[in-house]
Amino acid sequence: MAHASFLRCVMLVFIGPIAWAMHFLLIYSLVGIVCARPLIQQDWPGIGIVGWGIGVATAGAIGTIAAVHFRHWQARPSPAGGGFIGWLASSLALLSIVAIVWQTLPVLFVAPCG
C-alpha cells in the first residue's frame, strides 16, 4: 500500500516536467521531419502542418497537466495531508506550463523552415 502511494506521489510531482519533455521532443521532432521533407509542408486554412502540430501538442500537454492536477485537488481528502508535495507538484506544473507556452511562442513569429 505504501509503495502505490509513493509511486502515485512521484507521478503527481513529475507529471508537469514529463509533459513538458514530451512536448519538447514532439514539436522539435515534428519541425525537423517537416523541414527535412519539403513534400509534406502543406497549409490548411493558412496554417502549416507545423503550426497545427505544435498547437495540438501544446493543447494536449497543458490539458494533461491541468486534468491531473484538478483531479488531484478534488480527490484530496484533507488539507493537512501532503501540503509540501501538493505545493511542489503545483509549482512544477505551473513552471512546466510556462515552459510549454514559452517554447510554443516562436510558431507565432517565425517561419518554421525558413
Delimit the domains of the chain by residue range. Answer: 2-109
| CA terminus-to-terminus distance, the chain | 54
Of residues 109 and 49, more confidence is placed in: 109
CA distance 50 to 91: 30
pLDDT of residue 12: 83
Q: What is the mean pLDDT of residues 31-48?
A: 75
* Amino acid sitting at position 89: A
| pLDDT tens-digit map of 69-102 | 877 766 665 555 557 777 788 888 899 999 999 9
In this prediction, residue 19 has a pLDDT band, given cuts at 50, 70 and 90, of: very high
